[in-house]
Amino acid sequence: MTDELSALTTIFTEFYYWITVVLMFLIHVGFCMYEVGASRYKHHQHTLMKNTMLIPLVTVTWFLFGWWIYWAFPTGPGLAPSIMNESAALITDESTFSAKWYLPNTEYMAVNLGDHISGVFWAAFLLFSWTAASIVSGAVIERITTFAFGILAIAIGSVFWVIDAAWGWHFDGWMLKLLGYHDAYASGVIHAVAGGFALGILAVLGPRIGKFSSSGEPRNIGPRNPWLVTIGLFLIYTGFWGFYAACNIPIFDLGPEYGMEGVTYFTATNIYVTPTTLSGITFNFLMSLSGGLLAGYVISKGDPFWTYSSGLAGIICASAGNDLYHPIQSLIIAMIGVVVAYKMHYWVERKFKIDDAVGAVAVHGYAGFAGLIICGFVLNGYPSSGYSVGAMWVGTDYAPINPLGMFIGALIMFFLLGMLPGWIIAKVLHGMGKLRIPREVELAGLDYEIMEAAKDDEKSVASASR
Amino acid sequence: MATVTNWIDHLSAKEVQGAIYPGVGSEGVLVIILVVLWIGWHVIAARQESEKLEKLARKRHGPNDWKSNVTDG
């Protein structure tokens, strides 16, 4: 960097993403607290350890291949040509945003004086990956093996959500071009896909012992530590600020970017490089949180667990269009999302005997799915990209946002890249006898031996005289 | 191993080399090591977990036995 202005812009952008990473770390802290609070005493420590170990597993695989997938797969491959090289193949050529630069053995995946952005951008996306895996983690507590969860966490965190991000989040993604897909803050790209993935696993994993009576009636296994659940969810809210900021590009001159001659227009943009403001999305974040809490309180009749979760579900439902919605639209959409999530959770639980221990499929999956569909109607007609607006199915330019495209997009996120892979991988692990812990261990408690050892330690210390 | 031995020479070069970590050019080997560590971890951790679960399952503790192990804090 040799001129002051480009240096300031670069270092600001670098620091901006770095801050979002630190903030988003709180999402994981929140998920850990939340899961421990929701699990029963005899499973606490293993529950925590399972969620903790996804951090290194997803990080390592994200370094090895996850980040590469994001840059390689926007074209499908084979579904719509890239605007960078006009080819529909995997993007691995010499173009600026090619996956070639993000192979783990390139010099850009390290300390490099010529690249101040790759590392922080890589990390911001990595934190999204942890979130995707952590969403799944809560649903399967108290009966999945750590080995199976590790494999599943890598699958959702470093493969499937990344494919959907390349398809529906990357500025060159085929879903934007063919379908007019729009998902600014990841209703589908993170939440619907992770919720669907969790549902696929749950269908194979089965419920916790005692969750359903012999007649099939569900029993409530409520959170064991509501305070920890409360703090956990508040931390997730806090980290979500970082998530929203990380989905934006903080400063961009759209004039030359869009090829507008003589036009200079500096603005923040969403991930699709279309204009929005950090200020505007702050309105919408808070209003959708509020809408979720208001609706959750009423529909659950003041149940704390559901009310807090509903705040999250509200944000998630409005996230697809929160770059453009009016705050009151955002609040109303959040309320609708909460009703959908709550009703669907209990319907699916009764109908299919699905034991989603923390309501993750509901809060993330159903609310995210609903958010995508609603976005298709409310933002109907907006361009999905600033580059070249065209029509659906053409593929060489970008279709506008529309209800059908968003509905198809929601199906892709929840079922094709979420539920189906989750179900298949869980089936394979189940076939290997590696998916679920033995029944005797589930009854005794995963922490039995740790607790027994702690008791022995306590006795020996208590009986010591010096 | 050192990629940089003099910062003044490094930064005043006509084209400043961006990569400054030790052993530039050995990235392929480092990636292979990481893959081995990653897969190896799964193998070892899975074996440890299976042994632990089998041992605990054999003891057939009741669903409330854990309560006798609650410490005073």
Per the CB < 8 Å rule, is B18 touching A114? yes
| DSSP bridge pairs for A269 | A249, A275
Q: How far is B25 from chain A (nearest CA, A)?
A: 8
What separation in angstroms does the CA of A329 have from each of A252, A258, A319, A382, B5?
A: 27, 29, 12, 16, 59
Per-residue pLDDT band for A390 (boundaries 50, 70, 90) equals confident
- Tokens (6 digits) for A125: 């996306």
Res B1: pLDDT: 81
Q: How far is A457 from chain B (nearest CA, A)?
A: 9
The CATH number of whichever domain residue A381 belongs to comes to 1.10.3430.10
Whether B73 has a pLDDT exceeding 70, the answer reads no
CA atoms within a 13 Å half-sphere pointing along the CA-CB vector of A254: 16
**For the whole model, what pTM was predicted?**
0.96
- Residue A60's closest chain B neighbor by CA? B38
| Percent of chain A scoring above 90 in pLDDT | 92
A64 touches B at CB < 8 Å? yes
Per the CB < 8 Å rule, is B53 touching A438? yes
State mean pLDDT over A312-319: 98
Res A463: pLDDT: 86
Query: Which residues of chain B make contact with A106, given a CB cutoff of 8 A?
Result: 27
Res A222: pLDDT: 84
Query: Which residues of chain A make contact with B57, given a CB cutoff of 8 A?
Result: 438-441
Whether A398 has a pLDDT exceeding 80, the answer reads yes
Per the CB < 8 Å rule, is A60 touching B38? yes
CB-nearest partner of A107 from B19, B53, B61: B19
Residue B5 makes CB contacts below 8 A (sequence gap 6+) with none
| DSSP bridge pairs for A150 | none
The structural domain count of chain A equals: 1
Res A466: pLDDT: 82
Domain of residue A275: give its range. Answer: 4-450
Phi, psi dihedral angles at A8 (to 5 degrees):
-65, -45
- Tokens (6 digits) for A151: 């494999």
Res A153: pLDDT: 98
Task: Establish if A53 belongs to a structural domain.
Answer: yes
d(CA B25, CA B19): 10
Residue A235 makes CB contacts below 8 A (sequence gap 6+) with A26, A27, A29, A30, A33
d(CA A306, CA A308): 6
A424 touches B at CB < 8 Å? no
- Tokens (6 digits) for A26: 């709180």
Mutant choice from A455, A456, A461 vs B, greatest count of B C-beta within 10 A: A455
A3: alpha, beta or left, given left = phi > 0 and alpha = psi -120 to 50?
Answer: beta
Q: How far is A105 from chain B (nearest CA, A)?
A: 5
Task: Establish if A464 belongs to a structural domain.
Answer: no
Q: If DSSP codes are grouped into helix, strand and coil, which group holds residue B35?
A: helix
Distance of CA A139 to the CA centre of its chain: 14
Query: Which residues of chain A make contact with B63, given a CB cutoff of 8 A?
Result: 443-444
- Residue B19's closest chain A neighbor by CA? A112
Query: Which residues of chain B make contact with A58, given a CB cutoff of 8 A?
Result: none
Task: Establish if A136 belongs to a structural domain.
Answer: yes
Q: In the predicted model, what is the mean pLDDT of chain A? A: 96
Query: Which residues of chain A make contact with B62, given a CB cutoff of 8 A?
Result: 443-444
- Identify residues of B whose CB sits under 8 angstroms from chain A CBs: 16-21, 24, 27-28, 30-31, 34-35, 37-38, 42, 45-46, 49-50, 52-63, 65-66, 68-72
Name the strands in the sheet holding A266-269, side by side, starting at the edge strand that comes first in the sequence. Answer: A249-253, A266-269, A275-276
Task: Establish if A458 belongs to a structural domain.
Answer: no
What count of other Cβ atoms lies within 10 Å of the Cβ of residue B9? Answer: 9
- Residue A1's closest chain B neighbor by CA? B16
pLDDT in tens, A33-67: 999 999 999 999 999 999 999 999 999 999 999 99
Residue A245 makes CB contacts below 8 A (sequence gap 6+) with A16, A19, A20, A23, A278
Res B32: pLDDT: 98
pLDDT in tens, A200-257: 999 999 999 999 999 999 999 988 898 999 999 999 999 999 999 999 999 999 999 9
Query: Which residues of chain B make contact with A154, given a CB cutoff of 8 A?
Result: none
pLDDT in tens, A104-158: 999 999 999 999 999 999 999 999 999 999 999 999 999 999 999 999 999 999 9
Residue A217 makes CB contacts below 8 A (sequence gap 6+) with none
CB-nearest partner of B49 from A107, A146, A454: A146
Task: Establish if A455 belongs to a structural domain.
Answer: no
Task: Establish if A60 belongs to a structural domain.
Answer: yes
Q: If DSSP codes are grouped into helix, strand and coil, which group holds residue B24?
A: coil
